[in-house]
Chain A
Amino acid sequence: MTEDPFHACDDPGHQARVPLPRDSVEDTGAPPPAPATAAQSAVQPLTLEHPVLKSLLGAWALAACAPEEAAAVEEHLDECGACADEALRLREAVGLLQRPESLDLDPALRTRVLESCLERRPPRIPVPEWAAAYDAETARLDALLQDFGDAEWHAPVRLRWYEADEAASRRTTVAGVIAHLMTVDGLVAVALGLDDPLGEVTAERPTPSARTEAYWRAAHFPPTRSVRAPWREQTHSLVRTVSFTGGQDARGGMPVQYGDFELPLHDAMLDRAFECWVHAEDIADAVDYPYDPPSGRHLHHMVDLAARLLPSVLQARRRSGLAAPAERRLVAAGEPGRSLRLEIEGSGGGEWLIPLDSPAAKGSAEHEVAHVALDGAEFCRLAAGHVPPLEAAAGQVGDREAIKDVLLAAASLSRM
């Protein structure tokens, strides 16, 4: 016997047991036909007290009692008007039980609906543009989680990133990934004066990975679906709180500490949106669901963040001997310097000139020494440490050393 509620009604054997739909009863005005189980077999009705018979009406209407009990109920209905009325009513109600429809809402509907609302009545307190990607990506991930059962929540996921130019990975579950997102989002929460989701748990270092490991370790059991509500609640309070911090700030808002580095609030929210999408894709892969890249507008902001971070990452790598030395020629701050043209194709794309020799230098088309072209989502996967850096670029022209440095630097942006 199938246990699948979605197909139960397609089984002809089942239809005989479930009372006829209410329309037929209503149209003919006839009393409800007796359930087939009792009518077809010559079952001896039991002798039951009135309260018991009454209590059986629901089970009877659903054809969910023994044949003897059904026979007793039907015999009783001939004598008891009140019970007969209720029986008819409950039989009709059974006809209203319906299989659930597909609950998958088109994630793009959210953006369309909200935009249409905000056009009709402009918000007095808008969600800042730099937080819009986070708002959209967390909503998309939450929608993905909506119908997950236990099997999905505990599906294994391998987190991947690049560390010292080597591929690194860590095994966890879907629930573990949500816990990871929550603890790292917590860095922004702490910066804004909200509660730290780590609570009493102390991490050895205030870095994303140390916080995550501390949270995972502190739990007596592996994370479960119960992590969804606090994660989602925190994402909502972050969006709400940053809406009140004021969107205009040339420096990009207060600094958010990540342990080994810091990002201004605006960039931190973009970083969290990016991580949310990357890990949503990890989760979708793990449970074999399709998952689209972010909208072009949001993807553009994410690429832009990575492109802006690259010059200082290049400098740090050069200092630790991981990248080729800078050109001997000194570049004064704000002056144009040797640059790589990063061309991002597809929705959300654009062009960025990455100064190669110093974060203080200005990207310059005249000093362009190399040109790299790749798809926006692919560039993000590179920056997420999900593709081998040297195989990432679809098209490359110019200084090979510079290209290699930039690709490795992009992959080094990734972390657990």
Chain B
Amino acid sequence: MATRDVSPVPPRWDRTMQQRLARGEAAALGELYDRYASLVHGLAHRVLGDERAADAITRDVFAHVWEHPGTYDPKQGPLRSWVAALTHRLAVQRLRATETAALARGGPGSTEDLERKVRRASVAARADYIVQSMPAPLRAALESAYFKRRDYRQTAADLGVTEDEARRRLRLGLQLLATAQDAAAPGSRGTPPEIGGAA
């Protein structure tokens, strides 16, 4: 998670991009792909666990944005969050459709298993997105403590911050990450909610 460059994008870029897409500028579509393809593909893959299926979702997401650029409203938030939410929705839809079809063909498991699987995949993808989108200092602290197994004092030293600050970052990072579960609580399963709140 530390290897991906997530450079902040000014809101003006989002608006200009939408206008260029609406104008039918193919070069804009290329730029959009270059900026978001790895995000889209990564999220789709986290939900679906399959390369081909993730490719197909990637195609569907960019086709949707290209065909309906007007459905994005810059006032509602960053384009990045909107693209992530769209990816999430399409990927979860596809997972549910595939699993339902398998069940109808007499596959193993119950409807409850299916719902649990969909929910788990959905939460995992949302968590990925939250980690990628959280402020870099929080992400760095989590990476140090979890992946590198440094305790908070070592983390503080590694990152050049006080021990108080290291504790604060670890707690805040986990608090953000914990919101991945909220939206996926039972009852909200029909409409996968927006996932941009933590960005």
Is the CB–CB distance between B146 and A18 below 8 Å? yes
Chain B residues with CB under 8 A of A177: none
B66 interface residue (CB < 8 Å to A):
yes
Take A59-B152, A59-B170, A239-B30 as given contacts and tell me if A92 and B178 are in contact as well, using a CB distance cutoff of 8 Å.
yes
B residues 146-176 with Cβ under 8 Å of A? 146-153, 155, 164, 166-175
Is the CB–CB distance between A58 and B29 below 8 Å? no
B194 interface residue (CB < 8 Å to A):
no
> Could you say which of B72-80, B81-89, B95-103, B120-128 contacts chain A?
B120-128
Q: How far, in Å, is B13 (CB) from chain A's closest CB? A: 11
A residues 88-108 with Cβ under 8 Å of B? 89-90, 92-94, 96-101, 103, 105-106
Is the CB–CB distance between A89 and B178 below 8 Å? yes
Is the CB–CB distance between A59 and B149 below 8 Å? no
Closest A residue to B168 by CB, please name it: A55
A120 interface residue (CB < 8 Å to B):
yes
B residues 4-45 with Cβ under 8 Å of A? 4-5, 7, 23-31, 33-34, 37-38, 41-42, 45
Instruction: For the complex, give the distance between the alpha carbons of A113 and B23 in Å.
Output: 19
Q: How far, in Å, is A109 (CB) from chain B's closest CB? A: 6
Is the CB–CB distance between B26 and A109 below 8 Å? no
Q: How far, in Å, is A133 (CB) from chain B's closest CB? A: 13
Q: Which of A17, A121, A149, A232 has the most CB of B within 10 A?
A: A121
Of A59, A109, A127, the residue contacting B30 (CB under 8 A) is A127
Q: Which of A5, A6, A96, A122 has the most CB of B within 10 A?
A: A96
Is the CB–CB distance between A116 and B30 below 8 Å? no
A155 interface residue (CB < 8 Å to B):
no
Is the CB–CB distance between A8 and B149 below 8 Å? yes
Is the CB–CB distance between A101 and B45 below 8 Å? yes
Number of residues of chain A lying within 8 A (CB) of chain B: 63
Is the CB–CB distance between B27 and A239 below 8 Å? yes
Chain B residues with CB under 8 A of A126: 26
Q: How far, in Å, is A320 (CB) from chain B's closest CB? A: 41
Closest B residue to A59 by CB, please name it: B152
Is the CB–CB distance between A100 and B1 below 8 Å? yes
Closest A residue to B55 by CB, please name it: A109
Interface 1/0 per residue, A234-265 and B, CB below 8 Å:
00100110010000000000000000000000
Is the CB–CB distance between A3 and B148 below 8 Å? yes
Take A14-B149, A90-B174 as given contacts and tell me if A125 and B1 are in contact as well, using a CB distance cutoff of 8 Å.
no
Q: How far, in Å, is A301 (CB) from chain B's closest CB? A: 18
Q: Report the interface size class on chain B.
A: 35 or more
Of B7, B124, B169, B177, the residue contacting A93 (CB under 8 A) is B177
Is the CB–CB distance between B148 and A59 below 8 Å? no
Chain B residues with CB under 8 A of A55: 164, 167-168, 171
Take A56-B167, A62-B146, A116-B59 as given contacts and tell me if A123 and B26 are in contact as well, using a CB distance cutoff of 8 Å.
yes
Q: How far, in Å, is A341 (CB) from chain B's closest CB? A: 37
Q: How far, in Å, is A98 (CB) from chain B's closest CB? A: 7
A142 interface residue (CB < 8 Å to B):
yes
Is the CB–CB distance between B128 and A98 below 8 Å? yes
Q: How far, in Å, is A414 (CB) from chain B's closest CB? A: 29
Is the CB–CB distance between B27 and A120 below 8 Å? no
Interface residues in chain B, defined as those with a beta carbon under 8 Å from any beta carbon in chain A: 1-5, 7, 23-31, 33-34, 37-38, 41-42, 45-46, 55, 58-59, 62-63, 66-67, 120, 123-124, 127-128, 131, 142-143, 145-153, 155, 164, 166-175, 177-178, 180-181
Interface residues in chain A, defined as those with a beta carbon under 8 Å from any beta carbon in chain B: 1, 3, 5-6, 8, 14, 17-18, 22-23, 55-59, 61-62, 64-66, 86, 89-90, 92-94, 96-101, 103, 105-106, 109-110, 112-114, 116-118, 120-127, 135, 139, 142, 146-147, 149, 229, 232, 236, 239-240, 243
* Given pairs A89-B175, A109-B58, 11 additional interface contacts (CB within 8 A): A58-B171, A58-B172, A58-B175, A62-B174, A93-B175, A94-B146, A96-B124, A98-B46, A113-B62, A120-B63, A139-B34
